[in-house]
Amino acid sequence: MVIAPVQTDKTKESMIEVVKEISDIAGSRPISGEEYTSIMRNMTSRLAGRFETLAALENAAITSINYNLPNDYWSRHGANIRALTEPQLGAAAKKFVRPGEIIWVVIGDLKRIEAGVRELGYGEVIKLNADGEPIN
């Protein structure tokens, strides 16, 4: 999942950059060096607060059930993340990151971004109202 708050007038360009980054990570430029170090630091430093709310605990329990995770999955989670090497991360990205299967949810001033988004040709554009119902 990519969340990218951008300037309205840069929506199209930002979408192009996101596709480039995702494509690079999945192929020609795997995560390495300082980028890898930064990601690993971010992933592990936030583990301590991962279960500080009841909702977070509930979500972990539901995830455990839905994916049939072993009972010790969450107690080993941090160590498993820290053990992940650059080549392993690159191999996983090639396997699981699929640039051609991106589903976009673009939120913004329709009048200012629609034409640019359509020009990209990334797929069917479906406009929704605030309740998530399709509009013309």
| Each residue's pLDDT tens digit, 59-90 | 999 999 999 999 999 999 989 988 999 999 99
Residue 27's pLDDT band, with cuts at 50, 70 and 90, is confident
Give the sign of the dihedral formed by CA 80, CA 81, CA 87, CA 92.
positive
Q: Is the pLDDT of residue 22 over 90?
A: yes
Mean pLDDT within 12-30: 93
Higher model confidence: residue 27 or residue 9? 9
127 - beta bridge partners?
A: 135
Q: Report the share of the chain in percent with pLDDT over 70.
A: 100
Q: How far apart are the first and last CA of the chain?
A: 27
CA diameter of the chain: 50
pLDDT of residue 117: 95
List residues bridging with 104 in a β-sheet.
Answer: none
The average confidence (pLDDT) of the chain is: 92
Return the axis-axis angle of helices 73-83 and 33-45, rounded to nearest 10°.
Answer: 160
Measured CA to CA, the distance from residue 77 to residue 129 in angstroms comes to: 39
- What is the pLDDT at residue 120? 96
Beta bridge partners of 134: 128
User: Collapsing DSSP states into helix, strand and coil, what is residue 23?
Assistant: helix
Q: pTM for the whole thing?
A: 0.74
In the chain, where are the structural domains located?
1-28+103-136, 31-96
105: left (phi over 0), alpha (psi -120 to 50) or beta: beta
Give me the pLDDT at residue 46, please. Answer: 84
- Rounded-to-integer distance, Cα 50 and Cα 65, Å: 18
Q: Where does the pLDDT of residue 43 fall: very low under 50, low under 70, confident under 90, or very high at 90 and above?
A: confident
Tokens encoding 92: 């996983």
pLDDT at 130: 87
pLDDT > 90: what percent of the chain?
A: 71
Do 77 and 47 form a contact (C-beta atoms < 8 A)?
Answer: yes
